[in-house]
């Protein structure tokens, strides 16, 4: 696991082997951030990282200048590791141990960017619940974006505020926006656009 861009570009991180995680691969992470770079200036971005695991995505935002990051995971070991890493790199990450669904039900804050990487074996209804909770509780800012990583077996293109999705290997990134117009630049990221239906 490494940080692919920003202040700490190239720095490798080694998480404890006993953490119950499946980190986003470096290649798909780079492709994801190429897309996000078309939409956002990362400095000052308010980020929510759900099912954060090792904190892989949070560190990438931190390295690129985001200074208001909330990482939520239900595993104590993951949260402990995120706190240690955030201190080491001086990232402004608030690491919260919580069931993600309970967090979304109670959370009153809103964010510019929400990233969720649930276990791929989570059922379809649970993936849909993430989308519904975020938008019902108005947790995404008007010009913000939510990204959910999932397997090709999960379909989210029928959900409220769906914008587009991109396939990368066995992973899919589905993007949601309150006001969505797909950028032409997205097509030059190395990800294959997939329009189904």
Percent pLDDT > 90 in the chain is 72
Determine the pLDDT at residue 180: 60
Span 90-119, average pLDDT: 97
Gap between the Cα atoms of 12 and 45, Å rounded:
23
Is a pLDDT exceeding 60 seen at residue 184? no
d(CA 50, CA 149): 11
pLDDT at 188: 47
pLDDT at 48: 99
Which of 108, 97, 18, 93 lies closest to 60 in space, CA to CA? 93
**Residue 102 burial (CB < 10 Å; 0-12/13-18/19+)?**
exposed
Picking from 144, 180, 149, 150, the residue whose alpha carbon sits closest to that of residue 162 is 180
Q: In the structure encoding, which two tokens stand for residue 31, read together? A: 């492709």
Q: Tell me the CA distances in angstroms from 2 to 27, 58, 128, 195, one per residue in order.
A: 10, 12, 30, 31
Q: How confident is the model at residue 193 (pLDDT cuts 50, 70, 90)?
A: very low
- 197: pLDDT strictly greater than 70: no
51 in Cβ contact with 24 (< 8 Å): no
pTM above 0.75, yes or no: yes
pLDDT at 22: 72
Per DSSP, helices labelled H in the chain are 26-36, 56-63, 76-89, 100-106, 124-136
Matching residue, tokens 């993007």:
175
For residues 83-102, average pLDDT: 97
Residue range 8-44, pLDDT digits in tens: 898 988 877 778 777 777 788 889 999 999 999 999 9
pLDDT at 189 over 60: no
| pLDDT confidence bin for 71, thresholds 50/70/90 | very high
CA distance 154 to 168: 14
Q: Distances from the Cα of 56 to the Cαs of 15, 63, 85, 109, in angstroms?
A: 10, 11, 10, 22
Confidence bin at 169 (pLDDT 50/70/90): confident
Q: What are the CA-CA distances from residue 166 to residues 16, 106, 154, 176 (Å)?
A: 30, 30, 13, 12
The two structure tokens encoding residue 187: 């097509």
Q: Where are the domains of the chain?
A: 28-191
- What would the CATH number be for the domain defined by 28-191? 3.40.50.150
């Amino acid at each position: 696991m490494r940080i692919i861009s920003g202040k700490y570009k190239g720095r490798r991180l080694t998480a404890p082997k006993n953490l119950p995680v499946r980190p986003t691969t470096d290649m798909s992470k780079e492709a994801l951030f190429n897309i996000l770079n078309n939409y956002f200036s990362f400095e000052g971005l308010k980020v929510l990282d759900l099912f954060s695991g090792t904190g892989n995505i949070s560190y990438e935002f931190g390295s690129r200048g985001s200074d208001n990051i909330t990482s939520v995971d239900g595993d104590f070991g993951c949260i402990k590791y995120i706190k240690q890493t955030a201190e080491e790199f001086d990232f402004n990450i608030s690491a919260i141990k919580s069931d993600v669904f309970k967090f979304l039900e109670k959370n009153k804050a809103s964010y510019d960017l929400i990233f969720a990487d649930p276990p791929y074996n989570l059922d379809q209804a649970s993936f849909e619940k993430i989308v519904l909770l975020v938008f019902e509780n108005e947790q995404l800012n008007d010009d913000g974006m939510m990204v959910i990583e999932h397997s090709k077996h999960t379909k989210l293109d029928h959900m409220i505020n769906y914008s587009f999705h991109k396939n990368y290997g066995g992973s899919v990134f589905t993007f949601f926006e309150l006001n969505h117009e797909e950028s032409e630049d997205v097509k030059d990221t190395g990800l294959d656009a997939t329009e189904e239906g």
